[in-house]
Structure 1
């Protein structure tokens, strides 16, 4: 059993060591993801008497895993900016696919601008909605 575990460990280490390089020896980007925990929950502008809310899970994609430290440090700033954007949306925009993409893009642009102001570099490659629930 130990031999099998050792063999698996060696195999995994070998795969990961070769995975960081392209065939010609160039270093390939080593993407990492930062997830906001817990999910972001806020109200949005709704018509009528019913209060609308949205719950979203967000992952930020970065090229270098070392950038995750900066994202963790600035988590409250980024979270507040996203909540502000979500809270200013209309029900129609929140509930439509095109509106959802516009919101995602606005969140990406804002978060990238803020992190660039704080760290001096734009480290976020993409912003992904991993959960998007509304009522």
Structure 2
């Protein structure tokens, strides 16, 4: 009987330690996580007789596992919003560093609006372009 109890404790104690590590302690800030939108966003943008393409590798910075899970759940809606935003761009809005930063900020704003309408909170702290390739 003692042996069985010792074996059960040996199995349960590591699980309790892992569970307590995942929850932030009082006064401790929650851990930052990044949600990668995989696969890359690929599409065409602009108007005119010639097709212009973009490829964007995007990561969303969230705080805490709950926010990460909610953002992952709404990824199809987020991807749709970003594809619509990119398809409305013109050469001028994708050509310089400043214009790409403006696009990044607008993308973050739209992602936060989508999540706010779905979850009641913006959930995403920042949006990062890991890679942004434009073929005008």
TM superposition score category, shorter chain reference: 0.7 to 0.9
Query: For the Cα contact (< 8 Å) 2:71–2:123, is it kept in 1?
Result: no
The RMSD of aligned alpha carbons is 1.9
Structure 2: gaps spanning 5 or more residues: 1-20
**Which residue does 2:98 correspond to in 1?**
98
Distance 2:130 2:30 in 1: 22
User: Which of the two has greater strand per residue?
Assistant: 2
Q: Give runs of aligned pairs for residues 14-93 of structure 1, distance below 5 A.
A: 26-45=27-46, 49-93=49-93
Q: TM-score, normalised by structure 1?
A: 0.77
1:53-92 Cα shifts (integer Å, max 9, x gaps): 1100000001112211111111111000000000000012
1:18-75 Cα shifts (integer Å, max 9, x gaps): xx77xxx83123101101010001111155x431111000000011122111111111
Distance 2:107 2:67 in 1: 19
Q: Matched residue pairs, number?
A: 114
**Structure 1 residue runs of 4 or more that deviate by more than 3 Å after TM superposition:** none
Three-state SS of the structure 1 residue aligned to 2:85 is helix
Distance 2:39 2:134 in 1: 16
**Which residue does 2:10 correspond to in 1?**
none
Structure 1: gaps spanning 5 or more residues: 1-16
Rg larger for: 2
Query: For the Cα contact (< 8 Å) 1:46–1:91, is it kept in 2?
Result: no
Three-state SS of the structure 2 residue aligned to 1:53 is strand
Distance 2:80 2:115 in 1: 13
Distance 1:122 1:113 in 2: 7
